[in-house]
Structure 1
């Protein structure tokens, strides 16, 4: 029962945070939404900072599992990068676009967990995809995979910068798909470009 309650609190808080942002939601509102007392939440989490960290950790673990599933399902490195971008797009479809900014500004410990995830997990995953693509002749041999992997990650995160891309003007889902299209066309060989066109169902000119 204690484990089930703890998971219920994390899931309930995550749902609230993703919909409305992190800063505005109070422990009282989380408790009210779950139909429990605030005291019950404090039995498991000493404060909101600790709860936000737990929500972030839980979210990142789910993402790591999704990366493994994408790797298993992808037909090739181009398909894998497209599927990864689609996953990112879909996972943020109903998420308040200011959430990452709020976590960075008000919950530095939770944000550090996100930074560590980017460096240790996501970057490593993208490096592996890029190396596979080079071996298969889909990506250019002259690209620096460490540099390009970091560029891709920062490109993803840039889409959440509301000062650069106001969400009402640039919907996050469309933005991320534009980014991956631009990214792939920059790193692909002629063989890779032909494969992109196949996936996009574009008829090549003679």
Structure 2
């Protein structure tokens, strides 16, 4: 039963955002009582935290796989972009904003993931790109990685995306390409041109 509750809560959160979904909504969709839900979870944020932890674990595995199988740092960045777009495609834009504003424990899981995994991967990507002569020597990997993380979060923000006519996925793609192009050497541009339409 716990897995069914979890799966239904995830579906509802992804479709409607977290704040607008109640325990009553989850129970109604499953044809069970709220009491049954509370036998498995402390509250809505407990459900959300368990879902987020599972997503973080899956993201870490996927990021590691992308880093292991890509031929160069540009391909790795494009792989990360595809991963982000795939995950954003079926998520209500309110989800991230809801978590950030109202669910501090769940947001803390996301922050730890960003700081411990995404930042590290982007820093390693930049170091690899500099070593391979694909990225410019004069860039600071930690500063650039922080900028990249902020770009990803900016594209998730409902405040930002409401100003633009394009989709969140288009914004994410534009920001990624802008970021990568700013780091490239001449050698890097030659490689980038093979991937720029991804």
Task: Judge same fold: TM > 0.5, yes or no.
Answer: yes
Change (3 A) 1:126 1:49: same
Give 1:9 shift. Answer: 2.1
Q: Secondary structure at the match of 2:160?
A: coil
CA distance in structure 2 between the aligned counterparts of 1:134 and 1:191, rounded to whole angstroms? 11
Task: Establish whether residue 68 from structure 1 lines up as the match of residue 47 from structure 2.
Answer: no
Give 1:146 shift. Answer: 0.7
Structure 2 counterpart of 1:185: 181
Contact kept, 8 Å, 1:70 with 1:83, in 2: the verdict is yes
Change (3 A) 1:167 1:83: farther
> Which deviations, in whole Å up to 9, do the C-alpha atoms of 1:111-159 show, x marking residues without a partner?
1111111001111111111111111111111111111011001001001
Paired residue total: 197
TM-score scaled by structure 1? 0.90
Q: Which range moves more in the overlay, 49-58 or 6-15?
A: 6-15
Change (3 A) 1:148 1:168: closer
CA distance in structure 2 between the aligned counterparts of 1:60 and 1:29, rounded to whole angstroms? 25
CA distance in structure 1 between the aligned counterparts of 2:49 and 2:22, rounded to whole angstroms? 15
Structure 2 counterpart of 1:115: 111
Contact kept, 8 Å, 1:52 with 1:110, in 2: the verdict is yes
Report runs of 4+ in structure 1 exceeding 4 Å deviation: none
Structure 1 counterpart of 2:167: 171
Task: Establish whether residue 160 from structure 1 lines up as the match of residue 156 from structure 2.
Answer: yes
Structure 2 counterpart of 1:19: 15
Task: Establish whether residue 103 from structure 1 lines up as the match of residue 107 from structure 2.
Answer: no
CA distance in structure 2 between the aligned counterparts of 1:155 and 1:111, rounded to whole angstroms? 17
Return the match for 1:140 from 136, 139, 147: 136
Structure 2 counterpart of 1:40: 36
Structure 1 counterpart of 2:88: 92
Q: Structure 2 regions of 5+ residues with no counterpart?
A: none
**RMSD across aligned positions (CA):** 1.5
Contact kept, 8 Å, 2:177 with 2:196, in 1: the verdict is no
Give 1:57 shift. Answer: 1.2
Q: Structure 1 regions of 5+ residues with no counterpart?
A: 202-206
Give 1:167 shift. Answer: 7.5
Structure 1 counterpart of 2:127: 131
Task: Establish whether residue 9 from structure 1 lines up as the match of residue 41 from structure 2.
Answer: no
Q: Would you tell me which structure has more helix in proportion to its own residues?
A: 2
